[in-house]
């Protein structure tokens, strides 16, 4: 993918949408650094979600700021990257876009992975070893604010197999 300057692709969506799988494929294909955003959650956030309680804005803010700092470091050093982050609200994406405020040469693009509630629930129920229980899906869907015209984003449907979703994401990002 040809870019004029460093670019961060934020692979976003609710839990179960395949953010980690798609992001890993993109980072590998592009040769860009990858950050699994969940790795930056404070332990208290993970414990809260694992107990079946949704995070609120105050819980998410330090996590979003940590992701934005990672993004800013990459852009400041001229490197591109891929990061996973639910980025459910416009205000959360504003925090992430803040990573380029001092770096006009950088670009942040949001890649929204979208699917039906039924498919998302099926995926969440089938996976093992993840702290996010399927019971929180509805709270995430209720919180999700779709990106608007003032945001640099593309949307990819998650119905096909993961490799096809990653290929569609790459094609959409190249446009």
Please state, in angstroms and rounded to a whole number, the distance separating the CA atoms of residues 51 and 115.
25
145-156 mean pLDDT: 94
SS3 of 35, please?
strand
**Percent of all residues in the chain with a pLDDT value above 70, rounded to a whole number:** 91
Q: Is the pTM value of this prediction over 0.75?
A: yes
pLDDT, tens digit, 9 for 90 and up, residues 10-25: 999 988 788 889 999 9
Predicted local confidence at residue 75, as pLDDT: 95
Predicted local confidence at residue 166, as pLDDT: 92
Q: Which helix (H) or strand (E) holds 114?
A: strand 107-114
Please give the CATH topology (third level) of the domain spanning 7-174: Rossmann fold (3.40.50)
pLDDT band at residue 2 under the 50/70/90 scheme = very low
Of 122, 145, 135, nearest to 49 (Cα)?
135
SS3 content of the chain, % helix, strand, coil (to 5): 50, 15, 35
Predicted local confidence at residue 14, as pLDDT: 86
pLDDT, tens digit, 9 for 90 and up, residues 59-116: 989 999 999 999 999 999 999 999 999 999 999 999 999 998 888 889 999 999 988 8
Predicted local confidence at residue 68, as pLDDT: 96
pLDDT top residue among 55 and 94? 94
Of 117, 128, 125, 126, nearest to 158 (Cα)?
117
Predicted local confidence at residue 148, as pLDDT: 93
Q: Which helix (H) or strand (E) holds 112?
A: strand 107-114
Please state, in angstroms and rounded to a whole number, the distance separating the CA atoms of residues 17 and 157.
9
SS3 of 149, please?
coil
The full set of domain ranges for the chain reads: 7-174
Q: Is pLDDT of 119 > 80?
A: no
């Amino acid at each position: 993918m040809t870019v004029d300057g460093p670019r961060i692709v934020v692979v976003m969506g609710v839990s179960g949408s395949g953010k980690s799988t798609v992001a890993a494929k993109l980072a590998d294909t592009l040769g860009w650094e990858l950050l699994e955003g969940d790795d930056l959650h404070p332990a208290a956030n993970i414990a809260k979600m694992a107990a079946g309680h949704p995070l609120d804005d105050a819980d998410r803010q330090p996590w979003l700021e940590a992701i934005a700092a990672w993004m800013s470091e990459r852009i400041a050093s001229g490197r591109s990257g891929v990061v996973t982050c639910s980025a459910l609200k416009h205000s959360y994406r504003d925090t992430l876009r803040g990573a380029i405020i001092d770096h006009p040469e950088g670009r942040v693009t949001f890649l929204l992975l979208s699917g039906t509630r039924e498919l998302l629930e099926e995926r969440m129920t089938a996976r093992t070893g993840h702290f996010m229980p399927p019971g929180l899906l509805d709270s995430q869907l209720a919180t999700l604010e779709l990106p608007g015209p003032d945001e640099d984003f593309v949307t990819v449907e998650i119905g096909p197999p993961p490799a096809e979703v990653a290929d569609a994401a790459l094609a959409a990002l190249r446009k």
